Amino acid sequence: VFFHEKQYLERMLQFQRVAHLQQGLKPWREKEADIGFVPTMGALHEGHLSLIRESAARCGVTVCSIFVNPTQFDNTADLAKYPRTLEHDLNMLRSAGADVVFHPEVADVYPDGMDAVPVYRFGRLEEVMEGAYRPGHFAGVGQVVGRLIDIVRPSHLFMGRKDFQQVAIIADLLRQMGADTELVVCDTVREPHGLAMSSRNRRLDHSTREKAACIFEGLTWMVQNKDAFTLEELKAGFIERCSIPPFRAEYIEVVDGHTLEPLANLSDASYVVACAAVWAGEVRLIDNIVLSEVA
Ligand code: PAF
């Protein structure tokens, strides 16, 4: 087993240049293998690895990109503070079964400048929730994922449900691009007490990280009480649960899971999701939960 693993470890390919990546993927493309793609900004955790494992189980080759995309940060301090842990990430990717890692520089992704790469628009999908609090964020996400899809040309794209609005944006992006890529949405991976895995969690001190369980507890409480209270009361209950310092709820919205439009009543849509953003001191965390889904 050790020898097999050793061979495997040595086999993960790494590329920084677009042309080299495309050359590296050629043997798989010629074999018409399914190409699974997991775009990331690094600082990997179990949530990312679950996407890698899902891709490795379904596809002939799994490609992971590590690229901290400047165009999706509305705040330059947030971009500067974003954790960069390449060596650690590469080791994790090897152990999870990634075959190819693409970790380009800004000039590889945007060779003619950031303005030269198309920006997609997503209408209401990019105006609500995260879009309202982080103006321009989804334009940047759509721009970089569009560019990465053009580069990798994956048959399958794996994304985590924790970023619920991002998933809706990417589904719309694939539709606008006419990409022949299946979007595979994987469940949120949580820490033992319920906090959704996120690269930002590493910025929380131990005690705040433990207490951040209040976010998932608040969402779970909403599910448990959805038939007893109005949506306004459910939202107020969530805010109360996430208002113990250093926590402050930025928003809690109950939306139609397809259109992301806010709802007044649970019965107004067949797929209803509660989405929240909560500040834990200076760290902004998001999470969501399905309140109801009628097949
Ligand atoms: O979710 C993320 O990490 C990023 O938004 C993504 C999809 C990798 C685009 O930069």
* pLDDT score of 105 more than 70: yes
User: Best substitution site from 163, 186, 285 to test ligand 1's pocket, by max atoms within 8 Å of Cβ?
Assistant: 163
| Of residues 16, 18, 14, the one with CA closest to residue 147 | 18
- Kind plus residue range of the DSSP H or E element containing 65: strand 61-66
11 pLDDT band (50/70/90 cuts)? Answer: confident
Residue 10: per-residue pLDDT? 55
pLDDT tens-digit series, residues 37-73: 999 999 999 999 999 999 999 999 999 999 999 999 9
Confidence grade of residue 6 (pLDDT, cut at 50, 70, 90): very low
- The answer to whether the CB of 266 falls within 8 A of the CB of 272 is yes
- Give the tens place of pLDDT for each residue, 196-216: 999 999 999 999 999 999 999
Residue closest to 279 by CA, chosen among 228, 208, 181: 208
Query: One of 4, 20, 45, 48 is an active-site residue; which one?
Result: 48
Relative to the CA of 163, which ligand 1 atom is closest?
1
Looking at residue 8, its pLDDT comes to 46
Determine the pLDDT at residue 81.
Answer: 86
Mean pLDDT across 88-93: 97
Centre of ligand 1 to C-alpha 267, Å, is: 32
What does the mean pLDDT of the chain come to? 95
What pLDDT score was predicted for residue 162?
98
